[in-house]
Chains A and B, each alone.
Chain A
Amino acid sequence: MKNERFKVKSEDAMHPRSLRILQFALCNFHFAIRITLWALLLIPAPARAQQNAEELLSQLNKLPAAERRQKLLDGAKQDREVSVYASFTEANTLGNAFRKQHPSVAVNIRRLGGGRLLDITVTEFRAGKHLVDVFIGGSTSGRPLVEAGVIGRYVSPERAFLDAHLKDEKGYWTAFFSRHLVFAYNTTLVPAARLPKTYFDLLDPYWKGKLAIDDHPGNWLAGMVKAYGKEKATELLQGVVRQAPKIIRGRTLKGQLLAAGEFHAAVDQTEESVIEIKKKGAPVDYALLENTPVLTNPVLLAKNAPHPYAAALFVDYLLSSAGQQAVVDIDYVPTRQGFKPKNQELAARAAKAKLVFFDLDWFGERQKEINDLIKENLRPHR
């Protein structure tokens, strides 16, 4: 038997035993594919939770305030954690602030960019996996989440302290901070006399080749549509495109390039990215032009939240005085009545400016229309 090993004559004789099995596997390749596909089809349909968070919390809301609060705290203690999907970096700071008040509830924050947040959540939801309790941040993903059926209604008692345009009637979403989309400029390149008053001033030949705009200025355009109507907003967008703006992906990059003097001004910059480098001494400033769009960033509760009490407690916290103070502390613009942003200059400028608010529902209904407008008009031009 041993001698057989020395009879190596041709390639085929090299490893006859090993290869036969391998050959068997490869020849039955199609068979394997078929089995895999069948297996995929046989995956059981997701089981439904008996009572979802929406129903549970609406029953809870019927109780007197003190009893409700106590039940919520007890329930949250048993939940032990709340799972949060967030679309902004400072979410962790808010989570820590919540933890200080409620040490028995852990906050697990998954940080996701706007578009991916939606992809992930919807895929999990369709697969019947309920892993998330609360969503915070996404001004663009909020409405599609509601439409996908992921979100449950939850009327937090703290909503009473918010203006009507910061919440919806049914209780799907509540704005807990807002952002201004400001006109940002380089102070060494743009003389004060040249500062525009309205967005239409940017169509002046002076601004030719001097502007930058986001590669997907959906929020800004939505504000323009709300303020001026679709027709005039389209004209404005086309006019800005004729000025040959630099199309830049990412507001961080846009802010840094603005400070370095790569272009004179950015049409649609979120305020905090300018304020931060301005504070550090960069030659940049911002102006709130007529009809500056204000983005509202919502908190939403998952219909099938696995930790419903902790989720409701977290939502209540973000809208409460304590939570809004935490929002102020991270330099965001709070939404609760009587709260002002920490940055006095921004508060003063915002108080004087004419702002245009658009809520999640308004934006959601027009999102496709606005995307199409951008697709048709905002093409890179030489």
Chain B
Amino acid sequence: MKYKSQAVAKPYFIAAIGLFLGQIVFGLIMGLQYVVGDFLFPAIPFNVARMVHTNLLIVWLLFGFMGAAYYLIPEESERELHSPKLALAMFWIFLVAGAATILGYLLVPYASLAKWTGNDLLATMGREFLEQPLPTKIGIVVVALAMLYNLSMTVLRGRKTTINLVMLIGLWGLAIFFLFSFYNPGNLVKDKYYWWWVVHLWVEGVWELIMGAMLAFVLIKVTGVDREVIEKWLYVIIAMALISGLIGTGHHYYWIGAPEYWQWWGSVFSALEPIPFFMMTVFAFNMVNRRRREHPNKAAVLWALGTGVMAFLGAGVWGFLHTLAPVNFYTHGSQITAAHGHMAFYGAYAMVVMTMISYTMPLMRGRAANSRISQVVEMWSFWLMTVAMVFITLFLTAAGILQIWLQRIAAEPMSFMAAQEQVSLFYWMREVSGLIFLVGLVLYIASFFIKGKSEAATA
């Protein structure tokens, strides 16, 4: 760690990991509710568990991105962070707002929560992933703006590199597109159309810039490959991400009332969306193969390679699987979507945050890398979580194919619930995979507490 202020990333990462654990616990509750329908009802109905599961995901990834930004931007800019105090204040505001929101979901009926938090003044709640009460949404904007001010001042007064510029553009994009969450017209088609300007333009747009910058930063550090080479790759990857992803938004516009030309625009451009993810895989492996040093942090290298592969599989391959309009006509809104969502979020965003944490946490704790034994445990957790996620995805895909056949294609289509009962075996297997994922996550957390003899002292 070159600059003292980079240490502000540490609480962000700790919070991220804590919330990640919460996300997985609620994921397991939902997984069980899929097969034991009345589990925890009415204390935690499925919709509440799902809000907690998805909102915790979003919040912990945001914590991860912010922590990553506070770490890498000072280092790239070669100066201290503009205001570490502001960064720390924003951490507490975001943590308290996040925790209060989750408690609100769990303890208060959603309709009452909406009433008490001003949803009648400006209705923004009750839309998938954007369920947060108005004060939370405003809080997200405040935290994001304070962070952007802090980071932009740091970059403006320091060295401008491709990595810190791309990170900054990604974060600005994140904040700007989030503003569409405040636009909720009564017209359902318009509502859905612009809802995707938050959701799609985040995960298939600006978040890819953030991911690319984080991956490039870690790869420079752990491989020692020339910055020029890595930055060129970064530009090409994010160029492809936006060239394919912006019009690729159209793959969400097939069946929501938008004009039918979106079936062409969406199919063609979203079919290109795997390209940037494939390039990330090639990029990561290529750089590691051309490494000019053996970095003592083997676990961080493993995460960097892993995120390249899993992002391509989850976002790229599983996305392509159902993105073409004639296929999507049958797969839309089925377990296929759930399968894709799980592996894409884990492979691209969860793993890139863990790559960053894996690389930076030892440095923030005063060593180049963790002890051998600690790294071995961390790598075990990598494999357990990653393999478990592959199986979760495969089981959900199998459930999805069967569901689509029974409910949408068979000569005598079954009702939704009848088809769900037929596929319950796959839901049980998904739940078992989920338990293995939890074991992996617990090991991951345990790896931070394992001491052992530290590796070489220089990074």
Q: A and B, one complex?
A: no
List chain B positions with a Cβ less than 8 A from chain A. none
